[in-house]
Amino acid sequence: MSWIFQIPFFKERMMVITLHNRGTGKSSRPNYPYSMKMFVEDFKHLLDHLNVQKNVHLCGLSMGGMIAQNFVLKYPQMVKTLILCATYAKNNAHSSESIIEAQKLMENFDFEHKFKVRNAALYSKAFRKKLRQDKELYDTLKREFMEDPTTLQDWINQGAAISEHDTENKLQSIKQPTLILLGDDDQIMPTLTFSQTLHARIPNSQLEIIKDTGHRFNYEKPELVNNIIWKFIKQHTE
């Protein structure tokens, strides 16, 4: 998931580090099943390279939220706060398997059809209506999708990591202040139930629901989301 509407806001206020996980974006895409351990160590190596060893405000959405959970459990001394967006503690039938099946079906679609199906999965009905009226925003998202090199095999390789994800019985070990965010119209996963589990099991956590948004709520209401996250970070650094 991209953070194009968050990076400009936060880079004016703090050091921002983003990455393309292996098998996505501009990163290499070795053709074998990935694991959460691989993703965690990839991120750790990046932070080591940048000489970042502590006070990380760690934020992840969807699979990124899964990686963030596994990272904070392995390297708690490095993380100051944790922000988990549209994610969950344990794989289930609504996640990796169904996503991969959807990707397989979309292989036969033309670009426009793929784009419409993708938007229906990622965004709320209200936002999709807005897209039809906002050509600049529509073109931005369309260009982002056109430039995404992720293949079906990449999805399958990433799906292996999602399938093994399970932090449910370890969440109580997370001591960092944790912000849990979700959209109330998420079509990819029933995140309210999942987010409530995270909230119930992570001791020092708070749950915020972004009304009338889907899986990519950070795209739909960026100003609101940015302000919520920034307020949370400031609250735990001052």
pLDDT tens-digit readout, 146-162:
888 888 889 889 989 99
Determine, yes or no, domain membership for 93. yes
Secondary element (H or E) of residue 231:
helix 222-235
Examine residue 2 and state whether it is found in any structural domain, yes or no.
no
Q: What is the pLDDT of residue 107?
A: 72
Any domain includes 28: yes
Where residue 38 sits, what CATH number does that domain have?
3.40.50.1820
- H or E element, residue 80: strand 79-85
Task: Confirm whether 82 is domain-assigned.
Answer: yes
The answer to the question of residue 1 being in a domain is: no
Q: Which residue has the higher pLDDT, 88 or 114?
A: 88
pLDDT in tens, 208-231: 999 999 999 999 999 999 999 999
Considering only CA atoms, which of 87, 121, 86 is closest in space to residue 210? Answer: 86
Say how many C-beta atoms besides its own lie within 10 A of residue 208's C-beta.
Answer: 16
Q: What is the pTM of this model?
A: 0.93
Instruction: Answer yes or no: is 183 within a domain.
Output: yes
Residue 53 CB partners (closer than 8 Å, separation 6+)? 47, 78
Number of separate domains in the chain: 1
What domain range is 170 assigned to? 7-235
CB contact at 8 A, 66 and 165: yes
User: pLDDT at residue 93 above 70?
Assistant: no
Res 179: pLDDT: 99
